[in-house]
Chain A
Amino acid sequence: MTMNCILSGVGGQGTILASKLLSQAAMNKGLSVRTAETIGMAQRGGCVVSHVRFGEEIHSPMVPGHSADIIIGFEPAEAVRCLPYLKKDGVVVVSKKAVIPVTASLGKGSYEPSDMFDYLKKNVKTLVIVDGEKICAQCGSSKVLNVALLGAACASGALGLTLEEIKTAISERVAPQFVEMNNKALAAGAAAAEKQ
């Protein structure tokens, strides 16, 4: 049994750390893990997709199309962009706040976040929308969106990992002075998902 996760967002949103936390939590359970991510030029404001796979025997580090158990969208349009990875009945956890690219601000191509949510609602059976901005404000840092989304993903049940397991991974992977703040975001993300 392989668990396939896609984390999609925009460079600088912390998708890579989130994928590292997932991997660490899965490794702690003795599972085999493979991941792949975008690093380099594409990071600068471009789309960033992290693939995380864990289970027993895994070959490709990339999640094949139509086989993701869960997509964690750090931004609505990036969740939509990655939908071809989602398996039938897969779960989408997505942050409410859109990141408007410079191209849209320049008037080259429009971006209506509400279109993205309409589309997600029509196409995804289990959709969890997280008000990441609110959680970040509560925790006092815009950097904890990634962990808040992990909390929601955990609570959705589609991740196959518990909140405690992610918490342990946080304590192992995050600098000590930021652990408490991240744990708070994790719990707030989970609470937000449970309400839905």
Chain B
Amino acid sequence: MGNEAIAWGAIQAGVNLVCGYPGTPSTEILETAAKNNDGSIYVEWSINEKAALEVAAGASYAGARTLVTMKQVGLNIASDPLMSLAYVGVKGGMVVVSADDPGPISSQTEQDTRHFAQFAKLPVFDPSSPEEAYAMMADAFALSEKYGTPVLLRPTTRICHGCASMEIAGEKTPHITEGFIKDPKWTIFPKLSYKRHLEIEERNPALGRELSAYRYNTVSGGGSKGIATGGISYQYTRESLGGIDVKLLKIATPHPFPEKLALEFLEGLTEVMVIEELDPVIERELIYICGKYHLPVQIKGKLTGDVQNAGENSVESVRKILHKYVGIPYPADCDAVPGDGYALPVLPVRPPVLCAGCPHRASFYAVKEAMQGQKAVFSGDIGCYTLGNAQPLEMVDTCLCMGAGITIAQGLHHIEPGAKHFAFIGDSTFFASGITGCINAVYNDTDITIIILDNGTTAMTGHQPHPGTGKTMMGSISEKVSIPAILEAIGIRDVPVLNPMHLEEASEAVKKASQHKGVSAIIFKYPCIAVARPLPAYTINTDECTGCKICIKKLGCPAISTIDKKAFIEPSLCCGCSICAQVCPQQAIIGGKRS
């Protein structure tokens, strides 16, 4: 897997410290580093991306090689330290991996980390395959140390989660750390910023010239029509072209842009098609170069409407563009649905849903029942529980970014105090960015109810530990950070910690909390089904089941469907959570064992 390749690239380059925050598609990088740690590397899941980057900055000041991992929206959180660190610089090499997600497949935005590199004036590597990502890690560390700057690497989902057969050859190169040496350069001040800004502006064009000779920035082929591409789109382009000879520019370092190489590429061309995902970064650079050097080359791509503006590319989408552009074969039947002449049957819709037995389903249901008939707004957050928006629960009215649920509820309350305002947040997200929102709520005397969905893990990204679990990536157990104690310290008192699977009790607690004037909170605590042992499954007593479908209509559990107009519980999915048995008006759901 590309993520494993990135981790191995760092390990072989002698990385001393790895930290990050989980986020699809980047998560497996840090996990691979932890799993293959020979004891010489310090690895941690930090509480968020900002903390991760700062921990790494400290280590790099002391001469360590550091790797920081996150998804693209994580870089937004880490941008505060990143922007300043770009000025201050590092001693030990620092590579910040920010994984982009064209599609998007599991993200809130289709933002492009290459822009962040331009904005922060930092070098960025853009691998086109897992093999390249592996090799680039050593290059990125070397470049980082040569210029004393953090370096970005931005793989995309198809690199991160694409697998390739490859060999990790040779011994790792250990990196010896010198330790921290006191120097005024580590303390940023306006005067120093001005000086560093000048140096960076001088450095980057020189770096662009140096990168023009970088082994993964290449020009190949010939002709008067060119194609410029980078990342996974390069592979789609090569696959589409087959053996057809077209002049091809591959950009592996979108910033600083390898201008000299681009000029060589543009020489003798009349037209260029730029094939890239997310934003037209390479396209704008080429337009800039054509303007700067008065080159009569037409640059086509997203800005001219030749390439789609959103979503990911594919071999087919590229093939279609190149069919029009250079006449590569695109058989007419490529668009045809197989079996023309037969009507395609209606395919079932499969939106992602909360797992069977997920404790969040019980929590959402309890709150929904408690608020029946009252005006209430439910602000959600980022995690598995965003899926509470689906029918039939429909318990997520807003979702913006990590930690925003608690603060959005406050804004809603100030304008609409007559309604009840709820904020749902998971345990890992609470630690990542929920705490400041809670303090804001208490300090500014708002009236909201915070529901903490504590399933004891970071579930959506694959069950990473967090401060509440006490488990660390070094294998040690630290003091578990207590959510009730934090809330108490903030001034949110009498917070019940309840098992949401006891629906009635849970619902009563919600009613009570919602009537409290001021900030109230409830912690619904029950382990994620993926980490807890399932309880005995429930079954339907078909003699009692009337086929009313109340269990399905109220809960939407993926384990329950209907067979012959009666409810049916799929035994391989049921975790014995019992809530369907609690809502069944006929007591027709039997077996299991109430927890």
Q: Which A residues are within 8 Å of any B CB, using their own CB?
A: 10-12, 23, 26-27, 31-47, 59-62, 64-66, 77, 80-81, 83-84, 86, 100-106, 108-112, 115-116, 118-119, 122-123, 142
Contacts and interface: CB of A to CB of B under 8 A. Distances in A.
A65 B326 CA distance: 20
Contacts of A65: 315-316, 334
B24 A123 contact: no
A123 B556 contact: no
B461 A116 contact: no
Given A46-B352, A103-B351, 8 more contacts: A36-B162, A44-B353, A44-B387, A102-B552, A103-B348, A106-B391, A119-B339, A119-B344
Given A36-B161, A64-B314, A104-B561, A44 B334 contact: no
B164 interface: yes
Contacts of A103: 348-351, 391
Interface string B335-377: 0011100101111111111110000000000000000000000
Contacts, number: 160
Given A39-B24, A44-B355, A105 B349 contact: no
A31 B557 CA distance: 43
5 contacts: A83-B337, A83-B339, A112-B345, A116-B345, A123-B339
Interface in B151-168: 158, 161-165
B558 A80 contact: no
Which residue among A11, A84, A102 has the maximum number of chain B CB atoms within 10 Å of its CB? A102
Contact of A45 (B105, B315, B350, B552): B350
B440 interface: no
Which residue among A42, A59, A103 has the maximum number of chain B CB atoms within 10 Å of its CB? A59
Contacts of B162: 34-36, 61
Cβ-closest 9 pairs across A and B: A123-B339, A40-B24, A40-B106, A61-B162, A64-B315, A115-B345, A142-B572, A41-B106, A111-B348
B483 to A, nearest CB: 24
Contact of A34 (B105, B163, B333, B460): B163
B342 A119 contact: yes
A118 B339 CA distance: 12
B564 to A, nearest CB: 13
B575 interface: no
Contacts of A105: 549, 552, 556, 560-562
A45 B353 contact: yes
B262 to A, nearest CB: 23
Contacts of B352: 11, 41-46
Contacts of A47: 350
A93 B346 CA distance: 20
A42 B390 CA distance: 14
A40 B338 contact: no
Given A39-B24, A41-B106, A102-B557, A33 B164 contact: yes
Contacts of A32: 164-165
Contacts of A38: 105, 161
A64 B317 CA distance: 10
B346 A36 contact: no
Contacts of A35: 162-164
Given A35-B163, A66-B334, A122-B342, A109 B348 contact: yes
Nearest to A87: B338
Nearest to A142: B572
A110 B349 CA distance: 9
Nearest to A65: B316
A23 B165 contact: yes
Interface of B: 24-25, 105-106, 158, 161-165, 232, 235-236, 238-239, 314-316, 319, 333-334, 337-339, 342, 344-355, 384, 387, 390-392, 460-461, 549, 552-553, 556-558, 560-562, 571-573
B339 A62 contact: no
B339 A122 contact: yes
Contacts of B165: 23, 26-27, 31-34
Contacts of A33: 163-165
B460 to A, nearest CB: 7
B322 to A, nearest CB: 13
Contacts of B560: 105
A119 B345 CA distance: 7
A95 to B, nearest CB: 13
Contacts of A23: 163, 165
Contacts of B556: 102, 105-106
Which residue among B158, B165, B460 has the maximum number of chain A CB atoms within 10 Å of its CB? B165
A59 B235 contact: yes
Contact of A106 (B106, B236, B553): B553
Contacts of B349: 101, 103, 108-109
Contact of B315 (A11, A62, A111, A123): A62
Nearest to A35: B163
Contacts of A31: 165
B339 A61 contact: no
A69 to B, nearest CB: 14
A26 to B, nearest CB: 8
A100 B570 CA distance: 10
B333 A66 contact: yes
A64 B313 CA distance: 11
A115 B392 CA distance: 27
A40 B348 contact: no
Contacts of A46: 350-353
A65 B349 CA distance: 21
A38 B235 CA distance: 19
Contacts of A37: 161
Contact of A44 (B161, B384, B392): B384
A64 to B, nearest CB: 4
A39 B353 contact: no
A111 B348 CA distance: 6
Contacts of A122: 339, 342
A80 B344 contact: yes
Contacts of A61: 158, 162-164, 232, 235
Contacts of B391: 103, 106, 108
A77 B344 CA distance: 11
A23 B552 CA distance: 39
A110 B346 CA distance: 7
Nearest to A26: B165
Nearest to A24: B165
Nearest to B459: A44
Nearest to B461: A40
Contacts of A10: 350
